[in-house]
Structure 1
Amino acid sequence: MRKLVHCLFYEQMRALGCIDRAFFMSPMSDNVPPLRAQEIEKSAPSAAYSPLYQQIKALLLQGLDRGEWKPGEAIPSELELAARFQVSQGTVRKAIDELAADNLLIRRQGKGTFVATHHEARVRFRFLRLAPDDGKPVASQSRILDVRRMKAPTDVAVLLDLRTSDMVVNLRRVLSFDQTPTIFDDIWLPGSVFKGLTLEAVEQNKGPMYAWFESKFGVSMVRADEKIGAVSATSEAASVLQVALGSPLLHVERVSYTYGDRPMELRRGLYLTERFHYRNTLS
């Protein structure tokens, strides 16, 4: 308890400018410089006045963002992190519990805690909300229509926090379930991050797209904002999804973010829902 009170006092003094030194004692990797207390202030100005476990959570997120632990790798034990952060093990556990609840970390009984990867079903299906009405598993197929590189249109630049002079990658594809075209995706990505993303490269990828973004480009999508509405099929959408012109479709606009709340993808999807429904769990 005395140690925890000391840490809280230290944080308050540091926020007032009375103390300026590293928040923890030694780096986790020889190749990555240690996070410093000042860095948490840049990302969260009020962090010094938030609960201590939230400050530890913020530092862990910064470590993930900096690549100290790669997707699929184990993070240090709670005991090691507690020693490094100079806090109680319970404080570290609470921070890790929240990251696990957010599907950013995965606890494995008897093995430790690992950085989540989009190859894992529990993470992958966070971003695919379309489910069959009968609940039966369906086989999915992806067909890439085209991949283009261009300057960012104004609406895309705004949502991806880019300038209109910045380059973006536009990828359009059709997702089919049991050989039936079901989703028409229009995807926009920052060109500076997704260098080398070409039609040939995308067609060679046979796995989930977010898992490929993670392994190929080092980008993990950790959260998303969505807007959902009902629209009528245009001539292009009707042709791609093989439905009648004017058929009802679900329109989903999603902006996905990586660590540090940086937007990394704008995805506008048209969903055919004759045999499917869009499912979301609120908690």
Structure 2
Amino acid sequence: MNSNPASTTNLPGAAGATEVVPASSPTFSPLYQQIKALITQGLESGEWKPGEMIPSEVELAARYKVSQGTVRKAIDELAADNLLVRRQGKGTFVATHNEDRVQFRFLRLLPEDGDLHPHVSRLLECRRLRAPAEIARQLDLKPADPVVCIKRLLQFDGETTVFDEIWLPGAVFRGLSAERLADYKGPLYAMFETEFGTRMIRASEKIRAVGADPAVAELLGVAAGSPLLSVERVSYTYGDRPVEVRRGWYVTNGYYYQNDLS
């Protein structure tokens, strides 16, 4: 008797092909995870663009030669990852940064009344330069590769509340300029998605309390040494590829930083 049986798994999307995986193999992934990876590949390649409806569960099940339940589980995870959005009675759509609920997913500063207030962005600077060593490391670039540096202020209810310093890989954001930023009406991440084909999928943040240095204090209209919230974020696109380093300084008088843990 064979004491180490192997399981045979049909490869989705490859008719007749099989893959023999030892039952004890640590690299084995459930079938729905394989389908999730295939759908993600379609999203990354642009087969289904932001805001577009993807095929139905029945159609995807037929395409990948799996059960509808397997597809549903894959889509459930992609929706939980904010890559897809289910709309009751309409279908499943590719998430986009043009949706209000997605816009506020990455902007976590909320007023004490809990309501989402619109903000105004004031561009201070947009220039191309050689990547500083730390920025190159965080963006997985070679030293001195080109980057784009954006500096801006965000105003809520007429009050300057956030100073952002944003670093982007120059090769990905070729052609980004102060003029294009000034002409675009909408969220910054929506512009990156629409005009540069780069969608922010997830972000990792480090937060700490700091005293405002004189230059930042002047921009935010507070006294030097005033308490600020410092937020450093690295944002990733498909394939866990870093495409943004953002350093923000937040005035939190009347505001708090909300994060949902799950």
Counterpart residue number, 1:24: 13
Distance 1:55 1:47 in 2: 15
Counterpart residue number, 2:8: 9
3-state secondary structure, aligned to 2:244: strand
Counterpart residue number, 2:64: 85
Distance 1:61 1:242 in 2: 44
Counterpart residue number, 2:132: 153
Cα shift at 1:139: 3.3
Q: Deviations over 1:90-132 (max 9, x none)?
A: 0000000111111110111222111000011221111010000
RMSD: 1.9
Confirm or deny: 8 A CA contact 2:8 2:18 kept in the other structure: no
Distance 2:102 2:118 in 1: 18
Describe the shift of the 1:174–1:47 C-alpha distance in structure 2 as closer, same or farther (beyond 3 A): farther
What percent identity do the matched residue pairs reach? 61
Q: Deviations over 1:257-283 (max 9, x none)?
A: 011111110000000001100000101
Describe the shift of the 1:123–1:71 C-alpha distance in structure 2 as closer, same or farther (beyond 3 A): same
Counterpart residue number, 2:234: 255
For structure 1, list consecutive stretches of 5 or more residues without a partner in the other structure: 1-7, 12-21, 27-35, 39-45
Distance 2:259 2:215 in 1: 28
Counterpart residue number, 1:70: 49
Confirm or deny: 8 A CA contact 1:48 1:55 kept in the other structure: no
Describe the shift of the 1:37–1:196 C-alpha distance in structure 2 as closer, same or farther (beyond 3 A): farther
Cα shift at 1:47: 9.1
Describe the shift of the 1:209–1:227 C-alpha distance in structure 2 as closer, same or farther (beyond 3 A): same
Moved over 6 A (4+): none
Greater strand fraction, Structure 1 or Structure 2: 2
Distance 2:205 2:43 in 1: 24
Task: Give the TM-score taking structure 2 as reference length.
Answer: 0.91
Distance 2:41 2:122 in 1: 36
For structure 2, list consecutive stretches of 5 or more residues without a partner in the other structure: 1-6, 20-24
* Equivalent position to 2:173, from 191, 194, 199: 194
* Equivalent position to 1:220, from 175, 191, 199: 199
Q: Which amino acid in 2 is paired with 1:233?
A: A
Task: Give the TM-score taking structure 1 as reference length.
Answer: 0.84
Counterpart residue number, 1:281: 260
Cα shift at 1:48: 5.6
Cα shift at 1:164: 1.2
Describe the shift of the 1:50–1:25 C-alpha distance in structure 2 as closer, same or farther (beyond 3 A): closer
Counterpart residue number, 2:121: 142
Q: Which amino acid in 1 is paired with 2:13?
A: F
Matched, 1:111 2:90: yes
Distance 1:47 1:184 in 2: 46
Counterpart residue number, 2:3: none
Counterpart residue number, 1:17: none
Counterpart residue number, 2:22: none
Confirm or deny: 8 A CA contact 1:232 1:247 kept in the other structure: yes
Confirm or deny: 8 A CA contact 2:131 2:147 kept in the other structure: yes
